[in-house]
Amino acid sequence: MLPMDQLKAMVAGKKVAFIGAGVSHKPCITMFAELGAQITLCDQKKSLEEFGDYADTLRRLHVRLSLGENYTDGFVGQDIIMRTPGYEYFRPELQAARMAGAMVTSEVELFFELCPCEIVAVTGSDGKTTTTTLIAKMFEAAGRRVFLGGNIGAALLPQLPEVTEKDVAVVELSSFQLISMRRSPKVAVVTNVTPNHLDHHKDMQEYIDAKRNILLWQTPPCRAVLGYENDITRGMASDCKGEQVWFTRLHDTDRGAFLRSEDDTLCYAENGTVTPILPRAEVKLRGLHNVENLLAAIAAVWGRVPVEAMRQVGSTFTGVEHRIEPVRVLDGVTYYNDSIASSPTRTIAGLRSFDRKIILIAGGYDKKIPYEPLAPEIIAHVKTLVLMGATGPRIEKAVRECPGFDPQALPILHADSMQHAVELARSAAQPGDVISLSPASASFDLYPNFEVRGRDYKRIVMSLQPKGESAQ
């Protein structure tokens, strides 16, 4: 049976509840309505009017609404509940509906179940988006048609009618998506696992177990690509069902991608043979953490794309928005947007990518992550620290209590908004300095996501006037 016929058989005439009308659910709601599902939208919005222009679509599709404080009442009596990643899987209302017989699934889970082509998927605490994007670009450089989605890009399920067996799906997966998944990709990449999202997961073990789901349901022939330098991902080798390879920039390996120390070249080792890919000097991405992302991508596509395609992408790809993204040079000061850095490990990687001490803007929403590991890196790599948001005081406390902290060498400033933070950073900067927004915190105190935060930062930076000039 064709994938779309399978989906139609699954949803036609069924009662289907969607939790929220976000970016991925809107096209799915239309798709399911056209396949004959009876749809209920469960959303915290209080009225149809709050959906703006989308309200017309909801009317046209005859979507039932369960809104407001008791929106989860709409779960009752449903055959299928489409969960959004932001709605935690173990919430009592959802589990009660599941126990009552509803199938709880998601856009990504259904795509994995029905997709006719090979799937390569990436998870991890850091580096997911860059690694996923590199893999997609390598397949494209080899002439393959790629469907990119999951935690990035467009919803994949609505694209199902276009997918053929010859294509490849490259998918980024978050812990929120993985926690309920019971299918794994043909090629699974786990970059690293460090404390993250502990405001949403019961504990660190639940977070780790969610990540492991990318491996647990693989069936041979399959490949698992694991980060060797992370204790947790290295320990996942015992979960692998088929071929298991490493990526590492600090050690040589006889199976996987590594940075060869003797000539600083990215290589791949297999069956006793080492193949050089490209010198690190030719890698366009900034920072050693991006060398690791490139090694992970090489390990994922090895044997599936020519070495020349890997080399082409590695030597030309300059990065993804919000990831140590150059914004502008003004009065001799270079501004970077690293808004993706919503955890200490990401900020540490960003700090280490510069060859000088920088002016750092950090702080934001509190995900209950420890900041003590960040403190010595700030002392080593930051000349002025500008803090904002709920985590600002926590980061300051960690820095001040860290051995080696000198208040004369590292001024700590506090801002009450992004505009104020940029102004403080600019006032502290001299020609030749670097200013980077790398918050080590989530954005939710002031912004809906890291993208909006990064774009607001860029808007503020781009609106700055050169010193000595006033606004026209």
- 230-239: per-residue pLDDT in tens? 999 999 999 9
What is the model's pTM?
0.78
Of the two residues 252 and 194, the one the predictor is more confident about is 252
Mean local confidence (pLDDT), 129-149:
96
Residue pLDDT, tens place only, 106-135: 999 999 999 999 999 999 988 899 999 999
The rounded Cα 2 to chain-centroid distance in angstroms is 31
The predicted pLDDT at position 471 comes to 41
Which of 3-17, 159-173, 305-319, 456-470 shows the lowest per-residue confidence on average (mean pLDDT)? 456-470
The predicted pLDDT at position 323 comes to 86
Q: Does the pLDDT value for residue 202 go beyond 70?
A: no
Count of residues making up the chain? 472
Share of the chain above pLDDT 70, in %: 98
> To the nearest whole number, what is the mean pLDDT of the chain?
94
Q: Does the pLDDT value for residue 298 go beyond 50?
A: yes
The predicted pLDDT at position 441 comes to 95
Q: Does the pLDDT value for residue 198 go beyond 60?
A: no
- Kind of pairing between the strands at 273-279 and 265-270: antiparallel
CB 163 within 8 A of CB 134: no
The predicted pLDDT at position 321 comes to 81
Q: What are the structural domains of the chain?
A: 14-105 (3.40.50.720), 109-316 (3.40.1190.10), 325-461 (3.90.190.20)
The predicted pLDDT at position 287 comes to 83
Residue pLDDT, tens place only, 161-190: 999 999 999 999 999 999 999 999 999 999
Share of the chain above pLDDT 90, in %: 86
Q: Does the pLDDT value for residue 472 go beyond 60?
A: no
Give the tokens for residue 103.
């199938």
SS3 of the chain: the string is CCHHHHHHHHHCCCEEEEECCCCCHHHHHHHHHHCCCEEEEEECCCCHHHHCCHHHHHHHCCCEEEEHHHHHHHHCCCCEEECCCCCCCCCHHHHHHHHCCCEEECHHHHHHHHCCCEEEEEECCCCHHHHHHHHHHHHHHCCCCEEEEECCCCCCHHHHHHCCCCCEEEEECCHHHHCCCCCCCCEEEECCCCCCCCCCCCCHHHHHHHHHHHHHCCCCCCEEEEECCCHHHHHHHHHCCCEEEEEECCCCCCCEEEEECCCCEEEEEECCEEEEEEEHHHCCCCCHHHHHHHHHHHHHHECCECHHHHHHHHHHCCCCCCCCEEEEEECCEEEEECCCCCCHHHHHHHHHCCCCCEEEEECCECCCCCCCCCHHHHHHHEEEEEECCCCHHHHHHHHHCCCCCCCCCCCEEECCCHHHHHHHHHHHCCCCCEEEECCCCECCCCCCCHHHHHHHHHHHHHHCCCCCCCCC
Q: Does the pLDDT value for residue 201 go beyond 90?
A: no
Chain position carrying tokens 């502290």 = 428
The predicted pLDDT at position 200 comes to 64
Residue pLDDT, tens place only, 56-103: 999 999 999 999 999 999 999 999 999 998 899 999 999 999 999 999
The predicted pLDDT at position 353 comes to 87
Q: Does the pLDDT value for residue 247 go beyond 50?
A: yes
The predicted pLDDT at position 197 comes to 55
Give the tokens for residue 465.
């006037």
Mean local confidence (pLDDT), 33-52:
96
The predicted pLDDT at position 367 comes to 85
Which of 116-120, 149-153, 460-464 shows the lowest per-residue confidence on average (mean pLDDT)? 149-153
Mean local confidence (pLDDT), 298-327:
94
Tell me which residue of 153, 137, 151, 147 sits closest to 117, measured CA to CA: 147
The predicted pLDDT at position 461 comes to 98
CB atoms within 10 A of CB 288: 16
The predicted pLDDT at position 203 comes to 78
Angle, helices 307-316/128-141, rounded to nearest 10 degrees: 130
> How does 325-351 read in b/e, with b if 16+ C-beta sit within 10 Å?
bebeebeebbbbbbbbbbbbbbbbbbb
